[in-house]
Structure 1
Amino acid sequence: MSQVKLNSNFIVLDALQTATPVPLTPDIYQELDTRFGNFSGCFLVAEYAFSADWPSWEMHPHGDETLYLIAGAASLHLYADGLERQIEFDTPGSFVIIPKGSWHTAKVKASCTMLFITPGEGTVNGPDPRSRNA
């Protein structure tokens, strides 16, 4: 296999520990669900660059997500079981583990790049979960 850039491809790690590079396309998430059986038992390895706050919150019901800070800084906001946490994610080379079932988002403090290792099955995206309990 030739060298591939992570910012233009994802890597899917399946339940058999096979790593499959997948080029980014406009329909990447639908393609991943179809191609990898709704992502059951799979992890997605991806790199994202952010210059603005995340537009929504997300939650992964089937496993912990690991975020690795490559550059920049962000404030991570987590919400689970009625409890809120804020983590200053501002040391490149550090990582944070987002517990399974925790809603989370990020407020960008300085343009940043992160590596994600995400249990993709059942991922939910939506508005601020705190507003659902009001």
Structure 2
Amino acid sequence: MSQSKLASNFIVLDSKQTTTEVPVTPGIYQELDANFGQFEGCLLISEYTFSSDWTSWEMHPNGDETLYLISGEATLLLYSESEESRIEFNSPGSFVIIPKGVWHKALIKTCCSILFITPGEGTINCTNPRPRQN
């Protein structure tokens, strides 16, 4: 056993409840899909530090995502069934559960670090989840 930092080595928890430490690389998400069967039944435990707003929305169709605020402040935007809501994520040590199938992104108020527990299978990213208006 050795000690690692979550910001540089993510943890994959597979469907058999086995953990694997995975070094963070520029192609990590493609590597995770390739090495863990498209991430079927897996959870990704990761940490990110943000100094600017997320550039895209994301949605996890196969499970709830948990966000744990380590430091800083953000506003979480959630979009589901034509309704947008906001969560002020500004108390380090607090967490938010993003329900399965809900689009979400973050607006960063002050540089923040967030721990994520993500059901990665089938994750979708887009620039705007709202349907086009004719």
- Normalising by structure 2, what TM-score? 0.97
Superposition pairs of residues 99-110 of structure 1, within 5 angstroms = 99-110=99-110
Alignment length (residue pairs)? 133
Deviation by residue 1:41-76 (Cα, 9 ceiling, x = unmatched): 000000000000001000000000000000000000
Query: How large is the RMSD of aligned CA atoms in angstroms?
Result: 0.7
Tell me, what secondary structure is at the counterpart of 2:31? helix
Displacement of 1:11 in angstroms is 0.2
Structure 2, unaligned runs of 5 or more: none
Displacement of 1:133 in angstroms is 3.6
- Aligned partner of 1:117 in structure 2 is 117
Q: Which amino acid aligns with 2:82?
A: G
Structure 1, unaligned runs of 5 or more: none
- Aligned partner of 2:31 in structure 1 is 31
Tell me, what secondary structure is at the counterpart of 2:33? helix
Tell me, what secondary structure is at the counterpart of 2:109? strand
Paired-residue identity, %: 65
**Take 1:95 and 1:115, find their aligned partners in 2: how far apart are those partners?**
9
- Aligned partner of 1:83 in structure 2 is 83
**Take 2:102 and 2:57, find their aligned partners in 1: how far apart are those partners?**
10
- Normalising by structure 1, what TM-score? 0.97
